Chains A and B, each alone.
Chain A
Amino acid sequence: MKRFSPQFWQRLTLLLIIGGVLALALGGFLTPILKTAFTPLIAAQQWLSGKYQAAVEFFTMPRDVATLRQQNTELQNKVSSLETQLVQTQQQMQELQVLSALVGFARDNPENQYIGGSVIGRDPVPFLRVVQINKGSDDGLRHGMPVVTQQGLVGRIDAVTAGAARVQLITDSNSAVNVRLQSTGTEAILVGSVTGEVSLQEVPQDIILKPGELILTSGLGGNYPQGIVVGQVITVRKRENDLFQTASIQPAVDLANLPAVLVITNFKPVDLTPLQSPTGQ
């Protein structure tokens, strides 16, 4: 019979110890010991992991900040673009309101035919009260056509090209409009001046002019249709020694801020030149 070597007994003993420890661990008898042994290891691993994460963030954060900055810039650009669109929309709303008022005026006065035009500029010479509009002969405009807005009389076409026209305002020093007082029907002449003031001329002394009185076109002379509102009397100048009294007039239309106008195209101004004698009388 062969005896077992000492090495055999050592290995067997080792196996039995390992098996016993595994059996105890599987049985749960070694849990408190394992817990006590692993707690410091877990703490150390946690500490090391935190340091590692800090190092990773330290090297990756600039890329995140750059991305955030880029996104911020894109958003700011988008906000600026939206603000621009908002301003444009507001301007379009204002233009729509002006055009709606003109359309409403045209509908309320169906006896006339109108062409709308935008005011695109003013005369560069300050002595003249003339504006340019973006409609011309291609659109049917002709010299002498009256120009109005929903508020009242603006002036008349002074010169026409294919795509634009010049409008002489009633405040121009060369402008003279035959008008009448709404209350009494008295006829007079409305003239402009180089300073832009409008005055009523040749009003008989026996007529009582009151501030606030409405002035309308009379239709005399054939330059303007009758019945268009021109303005209101502001102040009256009456002197006993004068043949006529005069008055300052506030135009019904704000001629300093004129965005758009209507041109009356079915009114033909009367040309009195053939009726005048060669001597001009």
Chain B
Amino acid sequence: MLQTVIISRLPLLSGSADLVLLVLLAWSLQSKVKYSWLWALIGGLMVSYVSAMPDFTPLIGYVVVVIMARLIQRRIWQVPILAMFVGTVIGTFFTHFLDIIVLFIAGQSVPFQDSIAYITLPSAFLNLLLALPVYVIMTDLAKMVYPQEVEV
């Protein structure tokens, strides 16, 4: 709801931030979270229902991003914020490329250079701006949901 009502109405050029992507990414990068793919399914289905994109494209994009996030988390586990930024950039480019391919297959003309210049790059910039606060919030949420065990 935040995405459709607020975030999508704050464009930069023609791009906008993807709050669902950032939340899924940040949640997947938490070490104690095991079922982030389930949230990717839920978020992807909800966005696919609301969006006019064909054939569950957002769902596929978010599931792949979550899988990628788990791989990144294993490799860059010492600097999780860096993993968040890397995942944000890769996730944004991947979901947008997927959108372009699907729209091309659906018969819409999507000029690649204009899409990258006016949509993908501004969207990546906006996502990077929101990445850090979203990661902090999700980290705090993970600590509340999965409290640290203390040995007595």
Contacts and interface: CB of A to CB of B under 8 A. Distances in A.
Contacts of B58: 124-125
Interface string B1-40: 1011101110101111010100000000000000000000
A256 B1 CA distance: 19
Interface residues of B, number: 34
Given A128-B51, A159-B52, A194-B14, A121 B110 contact: no
A126 B103 contact: no
Interface residues of A, number: 22
Given A132-B50, A173-B103, A194-B114, A124 B8 contact: yes
A123 B57 CA distance: 13
B47 A194 contact: no
A128 B5 contact: no
* Residue in B3, B14, B15, B53 with the greatest tally of chain A CB atoms within 10 Å: B14
Nearest to B109: A173
Contacts of A132: 4, 50
Contacts of B118: 194-195
A194 B52 contact: no
Contacts of A128: 51-53
A193 interface: yes
B37 to A, nearest CB: 20
A196 B96 CA distance: 16
B49 to A, nearest CB: 9
Contact of B52 (A121, A168, A193, A196): A168
Nearest to B49: A161
Given A166-B52, A173-B109, A196-B14, A124 B114 contact: no
A173 B111 CA distance: 10
A201 B108 CA distance: 16
B9 A122 contact: yes
A196 B57 CA distance: 21
A127 B100 contact: yes
B119 A194 contact: yes
Central interface residue in A122, A125, A194, A256, by most chain B CB within 10 Å? A125
Contact of B3 (A124, A166, A194): A124
Interface of A: 120-128, 130, 132, 158-159, 166, 168, 173-174, 193-196, 256
